[in-house]
Amino acid sequence: MSGHTFSLENHTILVTGASSGIGRAAAIVCAKMGASLVLTGRNKERLDETLAMLENSGHSAIAADLTNAEELEKLVDACPNLNGLVCAAGIAELAPFKMLSQNHIDRVMNINFLAPIQLTQLLLKNRKILPSASLVYVTAVAEHVCPLGSSIYSASKSALTAVVKTLALELARNGIRVNSLSPGYVKTEMLEKLPSVEQYFSLVPLKEIEAGDIANGIVYLLSPASRWVTRSTLVIDGGLTIPLR
């Protein structure tokens, strides 16, 4: 892949949520494009499964709960200097507004919103993010369309997008790019946990999106192919969110 605009050769990239779904697919495609990966998630066994799926050598896995301050610090300490960060860890818990509990709000906000910003802040403080790096945050089209039962999930993602835009301004002087990627419904374990999954895909003009399709968008945002792209959101939703009438 050397010399290719989408090449990730000589890039070291940290991927959160690498034990499953979009994070795992991102790690697999990034390795194919030449990157060295640092994988993280809570489940060490599933991280090792991802590790075994990666092309080339020089990858590593560090298990950590990103909502635990001590584990977050240990992860950052163990992390090499980075050319890229992919924040894919997250949960999709839904609850009608009247039923919202403080526990639900904390669970969703802690991993979807606070964890990626605290991780980024610690990486920056410890000078682990190299000049010209690219940071990619996986949000969700829920942030734009806010479906029923998704008030806190949608809020967690739109709050993250707001931070991404400000952070991109603040890091531009170091040549660091910061973008979000907003997927529609993607065939992963997260979606399979929700009721009536087939009903979701029936709403999508291009039907089923695979995790690998989102991973290709992540590679674009990490690679020199997007070197003038910052403060933006790449929507990959199979046409779901533009209404026909």
Beta carbons of 15 and 75 less than 8 angstroms apart: no
Q: Interface residues for ligand NAP in 106-135 (CB under 6 A)?
A: 111
199 binds ligand NAP (CB under 6 A): no
- Smallest separation (angstroms) from ligand NAP to the CB of 20: 3
Shortest Å, Cβ 103 to ligand NAP = 14
Toward ligand NAP, which CB reaches closer, 21 or 84? 21
Report, in Å, the least distance between residue 9 CB and ligand NAP.
Answer: 26
Q: Which stretch binds ligand NAP (CB under 6 A): 73-81, 86-94, 123-131, 166-174?
A: 86-94
Q: How many CB atoms lie within 10 A of CB 123?
A: 20
Among 33, 190, 218, 219, binds ligand NAP (CB under 6 A): 190
Q: What is the dihedral of CA 112, 235, 158, 33, to 10 degrees?
A: 40
Inter-residue contact 9 to 229 (CB < 8 Å)? no
Burial class of 61 by CB neighbour count within 10 A (0 to 12, 13 to 18, 19+): buried
Closest CA relative to residue 112, chosen from 68, 83, 155, 51:
155
Distance CA 91, CA 211 (A): 15
Q: Where are the alpha helices (DSSP H) in 129-207?
A: 142-145, 151-171, 189-192, 197-201
Q: Binding residues for ligand NAP, how many (CB under 6 A)?
A: 28
Q: Which stretch binds ligand NAP (CB under 6 A): 7-15, 87-95, 96-104, 226-234?
A: 87-95
| Residue 90 in the binding site for ligand NAP (CB under 6 A) | yes
Residue 34: partners with Cβ closer than 8 Å, 6 or more residues away? 1, 2, 7, 8, 9, 10, 11, 56
> Would you state the torsion angle of the CA atoms of residues 194, 198, 200, 201, taken in this order, to the nearest 10 degrees?
130
Cβ partners under 8 Å of residue 102, min gap 6 = none
Of the pair 122, 130, the CB lying nearest ligand NAP is at 122
Q: Binding ligand NAP by CB under 6 A: which of 12, 29, 39, 41?
A: 41
Select from 39-47, 53-61, 76-84, 226-234 the region that touches ligand NAP (CB under 6 A): 39-47
Q: Does 61 bind ligand NAP (CB under 6 A)?
A: no
Instruction: Compare residues 1 and 162 and give the one whose CB is closer to ligand NAP.
Output: 162
Q: Which is nearer to ligand NAP, 133 or 240 (CB)?
A: 240
The site for ligand NAP (CB under 6 A) is made up of 17, 19-23, 41-43, 46, 65-67, 88-92, 111, 138, 140, 183, 185-186, 188-191
